[in-house]
Structure 1
Amino acid sequence: MLRVEGLQKSYPTPQGRIPVLRGVDFTLAAGASLALTGESGSGKSTLLHLVGALDDADSGEIVLDGVALTRLSEHARAAVRREKIGVVFQQFNLIPSLTVGENLGFQARLAGRYDPAWQEELTARLGLATLAARYPEELSGGQQQRVAIGRALAVRPRLLLADEPTGNLDEATGDAVMALALDLVAATGCAFLMATHSERLAGRLQRRVRLEAGLLATQ
């Protein structure tokens, strides 16, 4: 479902370009989960941004659900982001002026894929049914992250990306949120790629790889 080949990315500095990814290769099947580990600054977020069509690679290929993202215009990539990719960040990035229910349905409505029955099921499974009329500032960190996960999955994406999704949560809350995320990923059949510092959380996914010196090493 996802194929990445020879992916390279560098960034300009006054001292010259600094390579971050030096030729990354991996595949991920529909319904499969993969944990991406590595030290801070190793390029985990860069890789997720490229796979999520949020940034341009220097070279290499990313094929998502049969579509070569690296060959698309920005307009076409934006359409793929809306319709096929869900992203969960460490910072919850909820819209403060929208209620929980409105935040949950936001991306799905943008993509023209809003499904009231699926939103109701997500709301219930995430334990948010009694909170739907509240605003983000009225929620705990764990509740906000559950909303962020629900928002990403409301569009029924083909690929769910998560960048340190429990980094702002305590261990018990993070474990509970991760269990919910994995349950919903299984229910939707989407592929799941998560960047994390936590070897404990990485161990809950089906596979794990480590990013070192711009390359992936299987663990």
Structure 2
Amino acid sequence: MILSLTGVGKAYETGGTRVEVLRGVDLSVGPGETVALTGESGSGKSTLLHLCAGLDRADSGRIEVAGQDLTDAPDPRLAALRRQTVGLVFQQFNLIPSLDVAANLAFQARLAGRHDPDWIAALASRLGLSALMSRYPEQLSGGQQQRVAIGRALAIRPALLLADEPTGNLDEATGDAVMDLMLELVSEAGAGLLMVTHSPRLAARLGRRVHLAGGRLAA
């Protein structure tokens, strides 16, 4: 498995009250598998994604990504995992304003010591960005920025792609086009994909759907 969660629990203190967000979550994602994670707002979907990325730590249970146990992994190892193994795509794009498209696309790959100019060029072509490489994020539309964010995440050829509402800020037509490209590229790379979405229509496009409610997952 590219991603394996066993008995994962997570709680937060809110106003002096302990709120259990995740209660014994089990989930697995294999190479080339695409999984949609759905649930009501505040159900813990983003929390679950952050745990899988090593951006937060579970209170209980076990999380493995590409064979690496995140349970007691030190912060530098988690950072290395995000640089080299996990691609992250967020609704907010998170591009670096001072870098042009070419530099944003290559940013994570350079950090990982895995920069491949031919692969970057191929991604740019497939994502319709070849003519925009010298532009800066503020000069791009929302759809173009999201394509850059997806390209940046795929530039390292990640084993696992984690996407949190990646088309949430886009109109339906642009969102569909971005989804088409993301699913196509993930399939070609053989990466696992776990995507948070509120849209039943988008969830239906992925290979499997799991629903988070009451801190537990159901198919």
TM-score by length of 2: 0.98
Q: Specify the alignment match of 1:206 in structure 2.
A: 207
**Cα deviation digits, residues 131-174 of structure 1 (max 9, x gap):** 00000111110000000000000011110000000000011110
Give 5+ residue unaligned stretches, structure 2. none
Once residues 85 and 108 of structure 1 are traced to their aligned partners in structure 2, the CA distance between those partners, rounded to angstroms, is: 11
The residue matched to 1:88 in structure 2 has which SS?
Answer: strand
The residue matched to 2:71 in structure 1 has which SS?
Answer: helix
What is the correspondence of 1:6-155 to structure 2 with a 5 Å cutoff?
A: 6-155=7-156
Q: Specify the alignment match of 1:158 in structure 2.
A: 159
The residue matched to 2:211 in structure 1 has which SS?
Answer: strand
The residue matched to 1:71 in structure 2 has which SS?
Answer: coil
Once residues 194 and 122 of structure 1 are traced to their aligned partners in structure 2, the CA distance between those partners, rounded to angstroms, is: 20
CA RMSD of aligned residues (A): 0.7
Give 5+ residue unaligned stretches, structure 1. none
The residue matched to 1:209 in structure 2 has which SS?
Answer: strand
**Cα deviation digits, residues 82-102 of structure 1 (max 9, x gap):** 110000000011001100010
Letter in 1 for 2:187: A
TM-score by length of 1: 0.98
**Cα deviation digits, residues 54-94 of structure 1 (max 9, x gap):** 10110110111111011211111111111100000000110
Once residues 94 and 68 of structure 2 are traced to their aligned partners in structure 1, the CA distance between those partners, rounded to angstroms, is: 27
Q: CA deviation at 1:22?
A: 0.6
Letter in 1 for 2:148: V
Letter in 2 for 1:134: R
Aligned length: 218
Q: CA deviation at 1:32?
A: 0.5
**Cα deviation digits, residues 158-206 of structure 1 (max 9, x gap):** 1000000000001111001000000110111110000000000000000
Once residues 175 and 88 of structure 2 are traced to their aligned partners in structure 1, the CA distance between those partners, rounded to angstroms, is: 17
User: Higher mean Cα deviation, 72-81 or 125-134?
Assistant: 72-81
